[in-house]
Structure 1
Amino acid sequence: MKKNLKKTIQPDWWSKSCVGAILGLSLAIALANLIVVIGKHFFALSLMVLIGMWSVAWLWLPLFFISYLFHSGKSAFLYMALANTIAYSCLFFLRG
């Protein structure tokens, strides 16, 4: 009975890799753009562009590896798609 309640991480690494590569990259780009949009009022725009550009790699790699910690590829896709929707909604709201 208890064996049915315990969820294990499924080894479907193809779907998790695709989700991490595609949706993780788009989420990293959205978060880097949020850094630029929020920080442009406090720092010079040329500095914020460089910080945004270099932060994509720093954000994408952890997001890529987090995609392997989901229970299945389907749940990874759903949560990453939801995070992308929220991030791009915030970005479009702040940009006006």
Structure 2
Amino acid sequence: MNSFFQQKIQSDWWSKSFAGICLGFIFALLCASIITLWAIQNLSQSLAPQLGMWSIPWIWLPVCFIAYFIPKGWQSILIFTVFDILAYGILCWMRG
């Protein structure tokens, strides 16, 4: 595990940009859907869509920023794909 954190950060910005912009946006949409489903059950139904909609940039921008600190581009694509699959699984579980 130490070798992962001691790797030199590579300059393959194309794959990191793809991971941050595309896969990060998908992750932000999935998280916003999860927030909306949670808010419908626990908050006012008129507030839930707004809370979900306005949570997208607060999730997407930090995720996009974090993509450039992962040592290699293929690792960032793999990590973000796993997070997308997990978020989709949680969303499907919440919807029943």
Q: What's the TM-score, normalizing by structure 1?
A: 0.91
In structure 2, the partner of 1:3 is: none
Size of the aligned set, in residue pairs, is: 91
User: Which amino acid letter does the alignment assign opposite residue 88 of structure 1?
Assistant: Y
In structure 1, the partner of 2:58 is: 58
Fraction of identical pairs, as percent: 37
The alignment's C-alpha RMSD in Å is 0.8
**Structure 1 stretches (4+) deviating beyond 3 angstroms?**
none
User: Which amino acid letter does the alignment assign opposite residue 86 of structure 1?
Assistant: L
In structure 2, the partner of 1:17 is: 17
Distance 1:31 1:51 in 2: 11
**Does residue 40 in structure 1 map to residue 40 in structure 2?**
yes
Distance 2:46 2:73 in 1: 39
Q: Which runs of 5+ in 1 are unaligned?
A: 1-5
What is the CA-CA distance between 1:18 and the residue it aligns to? 1.0
In structure 1, the partner of 2:93 is: 93
What is the CA-CA distance between 1:65 and the residue it aligns to? 0.5
Partner SS state of residue 7, structure 1: coil
Q: Which runs of 5+ in 2 are unaligned?
A: 1-5
